[in-house]
Every structure is written in C-alpha cells, then in structure tokens.
Amino acid sequence: MKLWDKGLAIDKKIENFTVGNDRELDMQLAEYDLKASKAHAKMLGKVGILTSKEVKDIEGELANLQQQLQNGSFEIEEDFEDVHSKIEFELTKALGDTGKKIHTARSRNDQVLVAMQLYFKENLQEISGKTKQLVDVLLGLAYEHQEKLLPGYTHLQVAMPSSFGLWFSAYAELLIDDLYLLEAGLKVVDQNPLGSAAGYGSSFPIDREFTTKELGFSTLKYNVVAAQLGRGKCERTVTSNIASVSNTLSRFAMDICLYMSQNFDFIAFPDELTTGSSIMPHKKNPDVFELIRGKCNKLQSIANEMILITNNLPSGYHRDYQLIKENSIYAVENIKEILDVFIHSIALIKVKDINLQDKKYKYLFTVDSINDLVLQGKSFREAYQIIGEQVQEGTYEATEGKKHSHLGSKDNLALEEIRRKKDQI
C-alpha cells in the first residue's frame, strides 16, 4: 500500500520510474524518520489527537524498529515505495488502527523534509568536526616544519622564499573559511519544517514548538510555505558548503601531487600510501591524492546540479525534488570519507630538505636583494631596476635570505592566532 494509494492500479513501468532508488537511499534516512515519527506521535498525544496509551504503543513499536535498524535486520522491501511507507506499514501491522493514526496532521512532504534536515544537521556537525581535526593536524605540521624553507611559485615559476610552515598553515586557515560556511549551513538546516504537511499546514491544532524542542532544532521554519520551499534550499546550501571544503582539499591535493614529483621533490609519503606501475618498477604514484582531487571536483559539480534542478520551480511541492536526494546524500557521505583519508595520509607526510643552492633557485631571493638596497637608502623603483639589470646581464648573486617579521609571514606564522579562529567556531 502506498501512502497515497486510492485503490487504483498503478502502471508498473511508471511506478519503477517514479520510485527510482529511493529505497536504497532511504536506509540513510530511516533513523531520522523514526525519530521524527516519535516526536510527531508525542505531539499528537499532547494536543489530544492520540491517547496516552496509543502514544506509548507507537513509541514502543518505533523503538523495536530502531533496534532492527541498529542490528541490521531492518530493510525496505520492494513492496514499499520508501522508508515512510515501510514504517507506517510496520506500525499498522503491529498496532492495527493505532498505527494508521501516525499520519494524522502530516504529509510525506514534511516527513521527507524533517528527515533530510535532521540528517543534514547531524552530518554537517560531523563534517565540521573532521575539518577541525584536519586543521589541527596541519597546524601541528606547520609548527614542526616552520623553519624549513620552501620555494614559492607564481605562474608555476620560481618566485620568492616560502616555508613548509607557511604552506601547511595556509590550507589550515583556508579550511577555517570553510568552517564558517559549514556553520552557516547548519543554521539553515537547523529549522524544524515538521507540521508544514503538504506545504500549507494543517487544520488540526498541532503544536510545532513542541516538535521543535523534541527534535532538538534551534528554531522552526514558521511559514509553512517557506518550510516547503526549504526542500532544495537545504540541499543547495549543504552541497555548496561541501563544495567549498572540496575546493580547498582539491587544491591542496594538487600541490601534493606536484611536490611529490621528481621535478619538485619537496615531499614524500611512505610506500604503503603510494601505488606502483604495471611496467615501471620505479614508480611511486600519489593515487590517493589524485583520487581526492577528482572526487572533490565531482563534489563541486553536485552543488551546481542542485541549482539547475531547483532554480526555476514555483512554490509548492514538485516531484523534481526527488532527484536531488541521491547526490546530496552522496556529497555528505563522500566528503566524510575524503576528510578521513586526508587526515590519515597528510599526518604521514615526509618533508625533505631542499637544496636552495640549486641553480633553478638562483633568483629566489631577488626581492630580498631589492629590499636590502631600499634599506641602504635607494628608492624601491631604483633598487628594482638595479637588480633587474643584474638578472638580465647574468651578474646577479643572491644574498642570504632575509627574515620576514610581519604577522602571517614565513618567519611569523601566527599559528596560535589561526588556532584561536578555529576554536571560536
């Protein structure tokens, strides 16, 4: 029995097309639908629609289903469209007419909304936690290697002296920007949509503030139409936040792939983190970071997909929304795995000593040489021309690199200040 079944036969081909892979995806949402159903039943009891015994019976059966979910015996068989119809069926099978009452004053629309937002809320918190963990690892590496010089590049040309400390802490601070966005995304999804029903509320005297408190939402989405319009809005927000993290990790992974190559030779990883070639026995390939780069680029495309599917839909519910469930869940689950792998891998990085006397780094300190002349009384433009002429004539001799004392430079990394930024989130 479908939740919307009116006793008419359904074309099997159409049914398969409209259901899609909801059953598999809804296994991710089952615990949240159970939680929301419990809160809804308690609310119905509070306002007098269910008796206290009916509420107790429903809570007991929902607890049984939760136990099945935890021990792995819960499944959504092909007879069911989704997790919502499965749970209502089980309640009805166990409790008869009492089970049929659970759908009073709600729609499958707000069922999906509340389950998705509970899922997003919990997982954004987990993603933020993993991101903070990666920031801590990078700041630790920055502190450990802050004295080791690293050539800086612009346009992939040798430019100015940098350091490993500057490199590691740069990505740490970029990830803090991503944490700001994750925090904003959490505020968007942390608004209870339950009670909006099919998008226009209910004539029953429901208590939406009760379910908001019961489900642990910070507030509720007051306007029922706005709550329905949150479908798509939440997915766009969450996948956009994930795309921001992905962009940072993808760029970092690209640096790592470059720096591991023999042409740079700045870093290495243990053999167990690299892969070989089927015909070239010397190869130690950075496959893990290439896959991180590719996976992160794929996650960035999902945010755009969410926009394209939803950006011109009018108010009210439309079946198009079903199409955004799969990839929004995919984005959440994949960024968690990527962060786990990145944290594990980057902690094992081997920073190499770089021979800055190599001729390719001959001009690494030209800016310091210009600054020396400025400190001797020459104007910057005059000093620039003098060093420029030496470079053109092949007479330039590098001086010893100067200390960079200002806040946030290679010799004054402001690591504790960056850490405080992270801790304040």
What is the pLDDT, as a whole number, of residue 398? Answer: 86
The conformation of residue 285, written as its DSSP 8-state character, comes to B
* Cβ count near 17 (within 10 Å): 9
| CATH 1.20.200.10 correct for 108-351 | yes
* E-only strand ranges, 174-321: 191-192, 219-220, 267-268
Q: Are strands 219-220 and 191-192 parallel, antiparallel or unpaired?
A: parallel
Terminal CA-CA length for the chain = 47
**pLDDT higher than threshold 60 for residue 11:** no
Task: Tell me the pLDDT of the chain averaged across its residues.
Answer: 92
Q: Tell me how far apart the alpha carbons of residues 278 and 125 are, in angstroms, rounded to a whole number.
A: 42
What is the pLDDT, as a whole number, of residue 277? Answer: 47
Distances (CA, A) of 348 to 57, 138, 271: 53, 11, 11
| 86-112 pLDDT, tens digit each | 999 999 999 999 999 999 999 999 999
| 128-143 pLDDT, tens digit each | 999 999 999 999 999 9
**Residue 313 φ then ψ, to 5°:** -80, 135
- Per-residue pLDDT, averaged over 170-195, amounts to 98
Contacts of 394 (CB under 8 A, 6+ apart): none
Are the C-beta atoms of 102 and 88 separated by less than 8 Å? yes
Are the C-beta atoms of 321 and 231 separated by less than 8 Å? yes
**pLDDT higher than threshold 50 for residue 4:** no
Q: Which three-class secondary structure string do you get for 110-173?
A: HHHHHHHHHHHHHHHHHHHHHHHHHHHHHHHHHHHCCCCEEEEEECCEEEEEEEHHHHHHHHHH
Number of residues that this document lists for the chain: 425
Phi-psi map region of 349: left, alpha, beta (phi>0 left; psi -120 to 50 alpha): beta
What is the pLDDT, as a whole number, of residue 5? Answer: 55
Q: Tell me how far apart the alpha carbons of residues 11 and 18 are, in angstroms, rounded to a whole number.
A: 11
Distances (CA, A) of 50 to 45, 89, 400: 4, 18, 81
CATH code for the structural domain at 12-101: 1.10.275.10
| 210-220 pLDDT, tens digit each | 999 999 999 99
In this structure, what token pair is assigned to residue 20?
């899609």
**pLDDT higher than threshold 60 for residue 85:** yes
Q: What residue spans in the chain does CATH classification 1.10.275.10 cover?
A: 12-101
Percentage, residues of the chain above pLDDT 70: 92
| 242-301 pLDDT, tens digit each | 999 999 999 999 999 999 999 999 999 988 876 654 555 555 778 899 999 999 999 999
What is the pLDDT, as a whole number, of residue 356? Answer: 87
What is the pLDDT, as a whole number, of residue 105? Answer: 97
What is the pLDDT, as a whole number, of residue 23? Answer: 77
Q: For residue 394, which amino acid is it?
A: G
**pLDDT higher than threshold 90 for residue 78:** no
**pLDDT higher than threshold 70 for residue 52:** yes
Helix axes 224-260 and 325-346, enclosed angle (nearest 10): 30
**pLDDT higher than threshold 90 for residue 235:** yes
- Three-state secondary-structure class, residue 347: coil
Q: What residue spans in the chain does CATH classification 1.20.200.10 cover?
A: 108-351
pLDDT interval class at 204 (50, 70, 90): very high
